[in-house]
Chain A
């Protein structure tokens, strides 16, 4: 437990919060660049697509399950085996962006323990577990 005095004034981010900010900054740049590059590959047709953009209007009003059944679009982690397809390649950029918070959280566990913030470190570990469960598709 911290006392009221221990929780008193702090300035802008320092220590583990600054590490979190640095990792987030790097991750978001990589993720956004990947999303833009893969989108450019898709719309310019540099790689063959599972569903070419011109065919999308006939299926984009379908619910996801029907859309996947009709088009053979990937679900779960299937996309990782089909990165040679322009549209599926876009999933990699999304996955990178979705991994930024996980990476930042993992990165601050040790600094938190070093700072004797055991309760916060435990919550961060639990948070990582929740995000990994979501990422795994285990509950699908």
Chain B
């Protein structure tokens, strides 16, 4: 029964996103009659519902919700992209802050790795946020579309590894003490790890931070491959460390959006609540939905949302 419910919920999510994909780009946003036809309170409820679905799929696929939230809400809702990006950042920030303490206590996130990476990331995300708020709307839509399509391709192409690092210890990694032992809570086994390519990691996080700040996207889609494949952290430690780094990197960009007045409580509060509630359901779905299926669902949604955003930018 649970399996059937989970399957139905997943199908419903896919159907909603699929149906939305069939709408012409900006269908709701470009139709004032549609906006006027609904009472104001219907919009936060709709936003809650969409965020709920995003939360389910994001957890099942092991990514943050921000990367789905901005392109989907941007192409389906009447809100300006400035406010959607602000809400996307708040969403990612709240998720990271909520998970951070537990990850640290369980040894599934390493602050020694987060600190140098997030210095570069947060300076870049601040610059990205300023840049993003200066761009004209059609250019933002088009570049968001391109970025989201690139993310979909990266997710499609990347395969995380979980092997012990083979390269010799990195001098910077040794200097910062980026190595040790973490206990896998699932197997109970202790996994030795040693970071490598720290300078390349810092540069990568600067690029990721800039893109994240500019488009209000969470950064898990890029952080995890960077930490796991480039820097050699075990996959689970990379997942936790990525989440913790988002809490530091997104803080700078979120302050910029707050200072520019690019936050609407009617948006970010339902979005935060929806994703948190969806994530709880998503955790249960993990038992019956394979991560691979969820990953393909996310890639499909990103392709559709990215194409719609690109089309929206090119036609407006």
Chain A, 9-62, CB within 8 A of any chain B CB = 9-13, 16-18, 20-22, 24-25, 27-28, 31-32, 35-36, 38-39, 42-43, 53-54, 56-57, 60-62
Enumerate chain A residues within 8 angstroms of B137, measured Cβ to Cβ. 63
Q: Which residue of A lies closest to B253 (CB)?
A: A134
B115 touches A94 (CB 8 A): no
Known: A61-B80, A119-B176, A127-B115. A39 touches B269 (CB 8 A): yes
B264 touches A98 (CB 8 A): no
- B119 at interface, CB cutoff 8 A: yes
Cβ of B46 to closest chain A Cβ, rounded Å? 12
A60 touches B100 (CB 8 A): no
Enumerate chain B residues within 8 angstroms of A126, measured Cβ to Cβ. 119
Q: Which residue of A lies closest to B177 (CB)?
A: A7
B97 touches A12 (CB 8 A): no
Interface string of A109-140 (1 = CB under 8 A from B): 00000000101100110110011011101011
B112 touches A24 (CB 8 A): no
A126 vs B129: C-alpha distance in the bound complex, in angstroms? 19
Pick the interface stretch among B34-42, B225-233, B297-305: B34-42
Enumerate chain A residues within 8 angstroms of B40, measured Cβ to Cβ. 53-54, 56-57
A11 vs B107: C-alpha distance in the bound complex, in angstroms? 6
Cβ of B33 to closest chain A Cβ, rounded Å? 12
Q: Which residue of A lies closest to B81 (CB)?
A: A63
Enumerate chain B residues within 8 angstroms of A67, measured Cβ to Cβ. 80, 82, 261
Interface string of B111-139 (1 = CB under 8 A from A): 11001101100110010011001000100
Cβ of A101 to closest chain B Cβ, rounded Å? 4
Enumerate chain A residues within 8 angstroms of B15, measured Cβ to Cβ. none
A64 touches B174 (CB 8 A): no
- A83 at interface, CB cutoff 8 A: no
Interface size class of B (residues with CB under 8 A): 35 or more
Cβ of A16 to closest chain B Cβ, rounded Å? 8
Enumerate chain B residues within 8 angstroms of A3, measured Cβ to Cβ. 174
> Which secondary structure dominates chain A's binding surface?
helix
A90 touches B80 (CB 8 A): no
Enumerate chain B residues within 8 angstroms of A75, measured Cβ to Cβ. 259-261
B35 touches A57 (CB 8 A): yes
Enumerate chain B residues within 8 angstroms of A13, measured Cβ to Cβ. 104-105, 107, 111
B115 touches A135 (CB 8 A): no
- B279 at interface, CB cutoff 8 A: no
A41 vs B11: C-alpha distance in the bound complex, in angstroms? 37
Q: Give 6 closest A-B pairs by Cβ, nearest first.
A: A12-B107, A9-B181, A90-B265, A137-B259, A21-B104, A25-B101
8 additional A-B pairs beyond A54-B39, A56-B264, beta carbons within 8 Å, are A7-B177, A7-B179, A8-B181, A35-B269, A77-B259, A100-B251, A124-B115, A127-B119
Residue positions of B touching A, CB distance < 8 A: 29, 35-36, 39-41, 43, 78-80, 82-83, 90, 93-94, 97-98, 100-101, 104-107, 111-112, 115-116, 118-119, 122-123, 126, 129-130, 133, 137, 169, 173-181, 183, 190, 192, 194, 247-248, 251-256, 258-269, 272
Residue positions of A touching B, CB distance < 8 A: 1-4, 6-13, 16-18, 20-22, 24-25, 27-28, 31-32, 35-36, 38-39, 42-43, 53-54, 56-57, 60-64, 67-68, 73-77, 87, 90-91, 94-95, 97-98, 100-102, 105, 117, 119-120, 123-124, 126-127, 130-131, 133-135, 137, 139-140
